[in-house]
Amino acid sequence: MRDFQLPGRSTVHGAGGMAASSHPLSSLVAIETLKDGGNAVDAAIAAAALQAVVEPHSTGIGGDCFVLFCQEGSGDVIALNGSGRAPAAADVDWYHQNNLSRIELDSPHAVTVPGAVDAWARLLCDFGTKSLANILEPAIHYAEHGYVVTPRNSIDWSHSVDKLRRDPTAARIYLPNGRSPIAGEVIRQPELAATLRILATEGRDGFYKGYVALDIVNYLTELGGLHTVDDFSHHSSEYVSPITSSYRDHDIYQCPPNSQGIAVLIMLGILEGFDLNKYEPLSVERLHLEAEATRLAYWVCEQTLGDPDQVEILADEIMSKGHIAELQDRVRLDRVAEGIPMVAPMNPETIYLTVVDSDRNAVSLINSVAYAFGSGRVSPSTGVVLQNRGASFVLDSNHPNCIASGKRPRHTLIPGLVCKDGRAELCVGVMGGQYQPVGQVHVITNMLDFGMDVQEAIDLSRGFHFGGEYQLESGIADSVARGLDSLGHRVTAAEMPLGSGQAIRIDWENNALIGGSDFRKDGSAIGY
């Protein structure tokens, strides 16, 4: 239990239902949806749609979505891949012939077909109880009438001013008065409101067929993109089998590739070979082990992950006991392991939310436009911020993540779900691009190895070894930083908080819900 004489947040408790997100309006709308007779799926999609309005730098209908879901607390976990694809005309030779060595973040070639709307509609049709029109009402209201910008969102927004100025529509909508909004200012998005009304009337086809798709395609074509209206009309999300492994008698579920969720399972597999709880949670030893597991898991993922529809990914082999043991053998407590190449950092913006209802239907959902404001390109008439997830493609034909016709790019998005004894126990997610697997592992091990509650686990200071540096948040002692440096880590101070997350734990013994939301953002967990 936390010290109530010190700043902090308590866990949130409820029995009837709970929602946790990075924006207070999103959490509130989810709860209102539950209390209006909706289930967890209805509430989660209503919340995600609202965040597409109030957190436009992080998410939107021009982005992608992944979901883990279980009905009535069952351990039979359902995974939905709502990520979009490269245009049918995308071919690595075309890029080489046009003297491109990489896909730039603001390039039209970085824009993949948005998958979120189809994912929402499909999940709602299959498992929800309300119509898409009903679900979109709060998002339409706030887009049309305005919402108040929160402090953290104001800071994040300000980092994208130069990007937004390069696109006339983006600058007009998202830089009122020629600057980013400050906390307390009201922002309206009438073009987006009109587009959401089309979706409310016409369903998912209102996005992928007709006026909206045509406006997006015409704009991307003007910029030199290869997209066609057929790329949009042929898009569909798909249910996939989740991947899973055990850790400390719990079953950890992730979305399979093209998601990077397998990195979580690799990291936990490595760490299970060490007795973490004999160390302090913020000790040199614990953070060193976490960093080494990170480096090894990311190294494996960089070499192997892509779209499983187009490249062979041997997930069972990657997660096998023999392979995990080989990785464990490379970890040394007295030094940084050598010979592990570092990949370049990728730091997309993201929203993660989770909802559990009275029947214990549990939704773990993540939605994103990739980098802040995606490509920085906004469809002129529809107000849709277009993601730049395609920038993660490489132009090396021998790489599993090489761009190709209709291919899905490797994704950072990973919702998490933990089960025990055949029942759902924890919905958890940590936003922050490449940090997401580390963040999930940090929170999960905080709970399962160190006995923390969900809020304590989220709050605990973080480190991230990536791109050759070990970034540490300010809550980690200087002595620990020096100790990590002595082991060979190049320690630096994190410029911004490392990720942000939410979690809901199902307490089956008391038939209750326990939630937490990260102080690093402005969100909340709400239960009733």
| Within-domain flag for 227 | no
Q: 339 pLDDT band (50/70/90 cuts)?
A: confident
pLDDT digits (tens, 9 = 90+) for 425-455: 999 999 998 899 999 999 999 999 999 999 9
Count of the separate structural domains present in the chain: 1
Who's near 310: CB < 8 A, 6+ residues apart?
404, 407
pLDDT at 344: 56
pLDDT at 380: 95
Q: Is 350 marked active-site?
A: yes
What SS3 state is found at 369? strand
493, pLDDT greater than 80: yes
Higher pLDDT pick, 348 / 194: 194
| Within-domain flag for 162 | no
Name the residue among 515, 527, 426 with its Cα closest to residue 11: 515
* Least confident range of 14-28, 49-63, 198-212, 337-351: 337-351
* Least confident range of 54-63, 332-341, 501-510: 332-341
Question: Per DSSP, what are the bridge partners of residue 505?
Answer: 426, 514
Torsion-angle region of 320 (φ positive above 0: left; ψ -120 to 50: alpha; else: beta) = beta
| Within-domain flag for 87 | yes
Higher pLDDT pick, 302 / 199: 199
pLDDT at 345: 57
231, pLDDT greater than 70: yes
Domain that holds residue 416: 1-108+237-372+387-528
pLDDT digits (tens, 9 = 90+) for 455-468: 999 999 999 988 78
Helix or strand (DSSP H, E) at 126: helix 116-127
| Within-domain flag for 132 | no
HEC letters along 16-57: CCEEEECCHHHHHHHHHHHHCCCCHHHHHHHHHHHHHHHCCC
What Rg do the C-alpha atoms of the chain give, in angstroms? 22
pLDDT mean over 274-299: 96
Own/partner long-range contacts of 166-174 (Cβ < 8 Å, ≥24 apart) = 166/106, 166/376, 167/376, 167/377, 167/378, 168/380, 169/378, 169/379, 169/380, 169/383, 170/373, 170/376, 170/377, 170/378, 170/385, 173/378, 173/383, 174/56, 174/373, 174/378
Q: Which candidate in 150, 169, 350, 412 is catalytic?
A: 350
Biggest CA–CA distance in the chain, Å, is 64
pTM above 0.85, yes or no: yes
pLDDT at 2: 77
| Within-domain flag for 327 | yes
CATH label of the domain that carries residue 469: 3.60.20.40
pLDDT digits (tens, 9 = 90+) for 146-189: 999 999 999 999 999 999 999 999 999 999 989 999 999 999 99
Q: Could you tell me how many residues make up the chain?
A: 528
pLDDT digits (tens, 9 = 90+) for 388-416: 999 999 999 999 999 999 999 999 999 99
Question: Per DSSP, what are the bridge partners of residue 21?
Answer: 524
274, pLDDT greater than 90: yes
Average pLDDT of the chain is 96
pLDDT at 341: 73
